[in-house]
């Protein structure tokens, strides 16, 4: 049995920020990370971040991952890689698989920052090799340096769809088209404009009808949809492509929170079922906190600030004297990140969460 003050599940932007915040207060922290490489999805982000200085604006995601890893370099914080958290038990014991070993952890508090899962949608052929999550393609090209395809169709014009399309072009891959079911481009127009300047069509009010190929993907059929999101016959276009990227959103990975008995709320604006939490990231179960996409799908800057807030809240719960100003500073940063029209959906979702 491993005893620790704080267990953090996930070494992405939220988990590392939580570990750094609690570790700086002198608490013993154990971070469990499923992958062989820490940093979560930051390691494949090659674009520069927005926001302010505290949120590493103007640095690229993979550089930010290195900053966060430096911040947890202290003797009381242990990062365990290749460690998959498995279960949360009623007696407060959490288990994990570390390589081939099964371990048990008895923490005094927990931050769950497990991230999110890429969604798929239904169409014939969506299981063909060559139909990938957009994040998977980003992993292949930006983390491992593998050109994932020759010619891609991208489904989804949110920020992930737009950014990954641009990164595909940077890696020398042809992007045939970006297809978006909604009548509007969901992502920032600065990203969309870059694609348009490079001649990539962005087709709004269109979706994928089917994917075809002998053993692996060879073509994608798209069609226009009406205001009820039904396909319009005879508008089909067949694109020759060896890869179809699906960028239709993420779902929070909160199985451990369900299992721990946390109250869960269905909030579509935050990606589906998310843990109820107060303004300081505390779930309905005493001593259990949630941060990052597992607490509601937003973006990496929010994950870092939310993670820090969760780490500070856990430290306060464990009896460390945390000044109110530190907590308020996190609130202020979160408010700034969620301000403006781009944050309207998130603000609406968070409004539902507290009721």
Partner 1 sequence: MRIEEHPILDFNRGKPITFTFDGQTVTSYENETVAVALHSAGIRILSRSQKQRPRGLYCAIGNCASCMMVVDGEANVKTCITLVQEGMEVKTQIGKGILA
Which residues of the chain form contacts with partner 1 (CB under 8 A)?
Answer: 34-36, 41, 46, 60, 62, 84, 117-118, 120, 127-133, 135-137, 139-142, 144-148, 170-172, 215-216, 253
Is residue 179 a contact partner of residue 161, using CB atoms and an 8 Å limit?
A: no
- Looking only at the bridges linking them, the beta strands covering 243-246 and 131-133 are parallel
221/17 Cα distance (integer angstroms): 43
Q: Which is nearer to partner 1, 216 or 354 (CB)?
A: 216
> Within 13 Å, how many C-alpha atoms sit on residue 13's CB side?
28
Q: Which is nearer to partner 1, 133 or 272 (CB)?
A: 133
300-317 and 13-24 are packed helices; what angle lies between their axes, rounded to 10 degrees?
30
For the chain, what's the residue count?
A: 355
Burial profile 223-262: b = 16 or more Cβ within 10 angstroms, e = fewer: bbbeeeeebeeeeeeebebbbbbbbbbbbbbbbbbeebeb
**What single-letter DSSP state applies at residue 1?**
-
Minimum Å gap between C-beta 34 and partner 1 is 6
Minimum Å gap between C-beta 147 and partner 1 is 5
Q: Which is nearer to partner 1, 22 or 141 (CB)?
A: 141
Q: Which residues pair with 2 in a beta bridge?
A: 105
- Give the three-class secondary structure for 337: helix
Minimum Å gap between C-beta 36 and partner 1 is 6
Q: Which is nearer to partner 1, 148 or 292 (CB)?
A: 148
Minimum Å gap between C-beta 219 and partner 1 is 15
13-24 and 61-71 are packed helices; what angle lies between their axes, rounded to 10 degrees?
30
Q: Which is nearer to partner 1, 176 or 253 (CB)?
A: 253
Minimum Å gap between C-beta 301 and partner 1 is 19
Minimum Å gap between C-beta 338 and partner 1 is 26
Is residue 254 a contact partner of residue 163, using CB atoms and an 8 Å limit?
A: no
Is residue 116 a contact partner of residue 135, using CB atoms and an 8 Å limit?
A: no
309/337 Cα distance (integer angstroms): 14
Q: Which is nearer to partner 1, 143 or 204 (CB)?
A: 143
Chain centre to alpha carbon of residue 139: 13
Q: Which is nearer to partner 1, 90 or 215 (CB)?
A: 215
Q: Which is nearer to partner 1, 50 or 62 (CB)?
A: 62
Minimum Å gap between C-beta 222 and partner 1 is 20
């Amino acid at each position: 049995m491993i005893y620790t003050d704080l267990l953090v599940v996930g070494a992405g932007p939220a988990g590392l920020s939580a570990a750094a915040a609690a570790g700086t207060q002198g608490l013993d922290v154990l971070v469990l990370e499923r992958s062989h490489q820490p940093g979560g999805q930051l390691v494949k982000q090659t674009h520069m971040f927005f926001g302010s200085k505290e949120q590493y604006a103007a640095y690229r995601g993979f550089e930010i991952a290195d900053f966060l890893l430096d911040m947890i370099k202290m003797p009381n914080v242990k990062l365990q890689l290749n460690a998959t958290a498995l279960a949360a038990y009623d007696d407060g014991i959490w288990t994990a698989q570390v390589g081939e070993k099964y371990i048990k952890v008895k923490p005094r508090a927990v931050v769950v920052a497990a991230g999110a899962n890429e969604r798929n949608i239904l169409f014939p052929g969506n299981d063909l090799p060559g139909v990938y999550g957009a994040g998977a393609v980003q992993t292949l090209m930006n983390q491992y340096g593998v050109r994932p395809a020759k010619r891609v169709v991208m489904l989804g014009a949110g920020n992930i769809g737009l950014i990954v399309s641009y990164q595909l072009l940077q890696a020398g891959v042809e992007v045939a088209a970006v297809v978006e079911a909604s009548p509007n481009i969901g992502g920032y127009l600065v990203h969309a404009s870059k694609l348009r300047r490079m001649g990539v069509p962005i087709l709004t009010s269109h979706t994928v009808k089917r994917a075809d190929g002998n053993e692996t993907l060879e073509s994608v059929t798209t069609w226009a949809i009406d205001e009820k999101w039904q396909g319009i016959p005879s508008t089909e276009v067949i694109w020759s492509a060896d890869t179809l990227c699906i960028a239709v959103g993420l779902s929070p990975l909160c199985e451990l929170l369900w299992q721990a008995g946390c109250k869960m709320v269905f909030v579509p604006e935050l990606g589906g079922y998310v843990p109820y939490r107060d303004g300081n990231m505390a779930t309905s179960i005493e001593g259990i906190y949630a941060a990052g996409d597992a607490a509601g799908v937003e973006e990496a800057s929010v994950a870092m600030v939310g993670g820090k807030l969760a780490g500070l809240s856990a430290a306060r719960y464990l009896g460390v004297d945390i000044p109110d100003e530190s907590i308020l500073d996190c609130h202020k940063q979160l408010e700034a990140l969620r301000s403006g029209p781009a944050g309207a959906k998130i603000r609406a979702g968070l409004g539902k969460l507290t009721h």
